A and B are shown apart, each in its own frame.
Chain A
Amino acid sequence: MDFKGLVIILMGSVLVNNYVLSRFLGICPFLGVSKKLNQAVGMGVSVIFVMLMATAVTWPIQTFILEKFGLEYTQTIVFILVIAALVQFVEIVLKKFIPALHKSLGVYLPLITTNCAVLGVTINNITDGYNFVESMVSSLGCGLGFMLAMVIFSGVRSRIDESNIPNSFRGLPVTLIAASFVSLAFFGFAGIIENLFA
């Protein structure tokens, strides 16, 4: 696979097919943890980390075990279990060996187990027929896109908090509408991929 293709996959998953804003995966943490900038960054970094680890583990499992023995139908169960176990494992390892990192990411890790974006990215990598390197790049892109959306949105939210909003729109409704505008902004990237190397 040439370098160009990898860049296209990366940019595509960061900007065009942004997991949060155009595919609607990982909305819960996007809405829940985007209140403060530092939380958004912490969550974003954790998601990138877990996505990369999860892809690094699930891709070989799918290729060398499930497909080899005709067990593709167990994909959902196997993947979610692997991700859940992986998150636990990462948490234990971080706690033991890199306590500083665990302190900053530890809170977010359990939340990620049931993050649809992580399961989504691992399954999408398989259905899109990516090879190992492409899968890793695509996961990195999705994670970066997730973090980008969270960081941008945390800025938008801090402005919402200061404004005067009609009663029935307070809280979630206005947040969703603001998210819709952020998503609209990302629409502007739609044509970027075709013309990236033109």
Chain B
Amino acid sequence: MKNGKLSVLVKGILKENPVFVLILGTCPTLATTTTVVGALAMGLATMAVLICSNVVISLLRKFIPDVVRIPCYIVVIAGFVTIVQMFMHAFLPELYELLGVYLALITVNCIILGRAEMFASKNKVLNSALDGVGMGIGFTIALVAMATIREVIGAGTFAGMEIPFMVNHTVDIFIKAPGGLMVYGFLIAVVNVITKGKVIKKKEFSCAGCPSAGVCNGGCKNKKEGE
């Protein structure tokens, strides 16, 4: 790596934030950000799966034949998702109920498969683990940021605590589906300004952020970072 281990860790937080810059994992981002607690739980669950799968896939990268790599990755990821699911079912049943089907859907979360394909399959174990941590933190921060905006404006609460004034003046739409899409759009625009439009140039918006880009024999080519 060029800039050492720290940059691998840090880049996931803003420069390559999976949610706002790489545009991966949009589905859970929109679906689980109605409450701060749900967003935090989703972020941490995803981070756990991401770190574990990155490590295992990186360990196996020399053994997995190229042709069948995607099914292999999916099996590894689904295995860890099941572990997380069972863990949460046993110890955090309320969160398990709250996240519902989206917990199982971490399996097909673009971030995890995307990082496996873009990073873990080409890098050493330690770097892959750090990448998982960084990306996981970036994902969690993004989710919590979005959930904060939506919950404070939409429900007048923060993580369940009532905020004076806000609680009497709620804008319901923010915790509904359209509000999620809108907040996400505006946040990406803000990140665009911060990173000075790099985001737009970097990705001609298409399926480039999609992990299937690698398997997709159609027009979408994986133009993302090589290593």
* Cross-chain contact B207 with A24 (CB below 8 angstroms): no
* Cross-chain contact B217 with A110 (CB below 8 angstroms): yes
Complex CA gap A45/B188 in Å reads 31
B5 contacts partner chain A, Cβ-Cβ < 8 Å:
no
> Please, which residues of chain A bring their CB within 8 A of the CB of B105?
25, 116, 119-120, 123
Interface range, A side: 35 or more
Contact pick for B185, options A28, A111, A123, A177, CB 8 Å: A177
Residue of A nearest to B206 (CB): A32
Contact pick for A27, options B27, B186, B206, CB 8 Å: B27
* Cross-chain contact B205 with A180 (CB below 8 angstroms): no
A26 contacts partner chain B, Cβ-Cβ < 8 Å:
yes
A131 contacts partner chain B, Cβ-Cβ < 8 Å:
no
B222 contacts partner chain A, Cβ-Cβ < 8 Å:
no
* Cross-chain contact B200 with A171 (CB below 8 angstroms): yes
* Cross-chain contact A28 with B209 (CB below 8 angstroms): yes
* Cross-chain contact B27 with A175 (CB below 8 angstroms): no
> Please, which residues of chain A bring their CB within 8 A of the CB of B188?
172-173, 176
B71 contacts partner chain A, Cβ-Cβ < 8 Å:
yes
B194–chain A nearest beta-carbon distance, Å: 9
* Cross-chain contact A24 with B31 (CB below 8 angstroms): yes
> Please, which residues of chain B bring their CB within 8 A of the CB of A76?
78, 81-82, 85, 104, 107
A189 contacts partner chain B, Cβ-Cβ < 8 Å:
no
Among A21, A32, A75, A110, residue most surrounded by chain B Cβ atoms (within 10 Å): A32
A77 contacts partner chain B, Cβ-Cβ < 8 Å:
yes
Interface range, B side: 35 or more
> Please, which residues of chain A bring their CB within 8 A of the CB of B108?
80, 114-116, 119
B211 contacts partner chain A, Cβ-Cβ < 8 Å:
yes
B64 contacts partner chain A, Cβ-Cβ < 8 Å:
no
B183-215 residues at the A interface, CB under 8 angstroms? 184-186, 188-190, 192-193, 197, 199-200, 203, 205-207, 209-212, 215
Residue of B nearest to A74 (CB): B82
* Cross-chain contact A170 with B200 (CB below 8 angstroms): yes
Residue of B nearest to A81 (CB): B75
* Cross-chain contact B186 with A177 (CB below 8 angstroms): yes
Known A-B contacts A107-B218, A119-B104, A171-B200; A114 and B185 likewise in contact (beta carbons under 8 Å): no
* Cross-chain contact A32 with B104 (CB below 8 angstroms): no
Which of B39-47, B55-63, B156-164, B173-181 faces chain A?
B173-181
> Please, which residues of chain B bring their CB within 8 A of the CB of A114?
74, 108, 110, 113, 210-212
A91–chain B nearest beta-carbon distance, Å: 10
B8-49 residues at the A interface, CB under 8 angstroms? 23, 26-28, 30-31
Complex CA gap A130/B185 in Å reads 36
Complex CA gap A177/B183 in Å reads 8
> Please, which residues of chain B bring their CB within 8 A of the CB of A24?
26-28, 30-31, 177, 180
B216 contacts partner chain A, Cβ-Cβ < 8 Å:
yes
B126 contacts partner chain A, Cβ-Cβ < 8 Å:
no
Residue of A nearest to B207 (CB): A32
* Cross-chain contact B74 with A80 (CB below 8 angstroms): yes
B224–chain A nearest beta-carbon distance, Å: 14
* Cross-chain contact A175 with B185 (CB below 8 angstroms): yes
> Please, which residues of chain A bring their CB within 8 A of the CB of B209?
28, 32
* Cross-chain contact B182 with A127 (CB below 8 angstroms): no
> Which B residues lie at the A interface, using CB under 8 A?
23, 26-28, 30-31, 70-71, 74-75, 78-79, 81-82, 85-86, 100-101, 104-105, 107-110, 113, 173, 176-182, 184-186, 188-190, 192-193, 197, 199-200, 203, 205-207, 209-212, 215-220
> Which A residues lie at the B interface, using CB under 8 A?
21-29, 31-33, 35, 73-77, 80-81, 84, 106-108, 110-111, 113-116, 119-120, 123-124, 127, 167-177, 179-181, 183-184, 187
21 A–B pairs (Cβ distance < 8 Å), ordered by A? A24-B26, A27-B30, A28-B26, A32-B206, A73-B86, A76-B78, A76-B81, A80-B108, A107-B219, A108-B218, A110-B215, A110-B216, A114-B212, A119-B105, A120-B101, A167-B197, A168-B190, A171-B203, A173-B192, A177-B182, A180-B179
